[in-house]
Amino acid sequence: MSRRGFTLIEVMVAVTIAAVLTLMAHSVFRAVADTWRRFDESRRHYDRMMNANRFLTEAFLSAEVRRDIGDFEGSTDHLAFDCWLQSPDGWFERVRLSLAVRQKRLVASGLPWGALSLTRDIDSVRFAYRLGLGGPGQWVPNWDSPVSAPMAIRLVRFMATTTDSTVYLVKERG
């Protein structure tokens, strides 16, 4: 008696093995896709953070405080000052920049080309203003002067799971 083909049991075992291998492959590919998505989200978050830091550094280093232009107004939760920023067209324009948290975002407003969201998913901020550099200088919670700016600004961002603190130097006086 010659045997041709496979028995039903052999076919069912082969189909079961193929199904298990397919499920395992699906789990591996899903884990790889999830890891890539988390990596991409982290990269985008880092890019936004670095772009925001670059923007704020340029703004603070171009701050201009003169009685005839505008004063530097700062409190613990917002600040406003005049500075020179590059427009999307490449020109430098004087703007009255204002920074505050709105709808869980740190927003730079007063720009002629529209408000700019610098940081997302933020609960609150706290600004502090440095009186002088070096030595035992003092940080103060408010700054309101028509003729001077602080030497540096500390920005503390409070988010759901973390707190981030950055110090920005302000344009040299005089």
In a domain, 88, yes or no: yes
Q: Report CA torsion sign: 128, 133, 149, 49.
A: negative
In a domain, 95, yes or no: yes
In a domain, 137, yes or no: yes
- pLDDT reported for residue 87: 84
65-102: per-residue pLDDT in tens? 877 777 889 999 999 999 999 888 888 999 999 999 99
In a domain, 36, yes or no: no
Provide the pLDDT confidence category of residue 61 given band limits of 50, 70 and 90: very high
Cα angle at 51 between 47 and 52, to 5 degrees?
Answer: 115
In a domain, 115, yes or no: yes
- pLDDT reported for residue 28: 93
Return d(Cα 92, Cα 80) in angstroms, integer. 18
Q: How many distinct structural domains can be found in the chain?
A: 1
In a domain, 140, yes or no: yes
In a domain, 160, yes or no: yes
CB contact set of 162 (below 8 Å; sequence gap of 6+): none
16-34: per-residue pLDDT in tens? 999 999 999 999 999 999 9
Q: In terms of Cα–Cα distance, which of 64, 55, 114 is closest to 84?
A: 64
Alpha-carbon distances, residue 75 vs 19, 125, 132, 137 (angstroms) = 63, 11, 18, 18
- What range does the domain containing 142 cover? 47-169
Question: Using only C-alpha atoms, what is the Rg of the chain?
Answer: 28
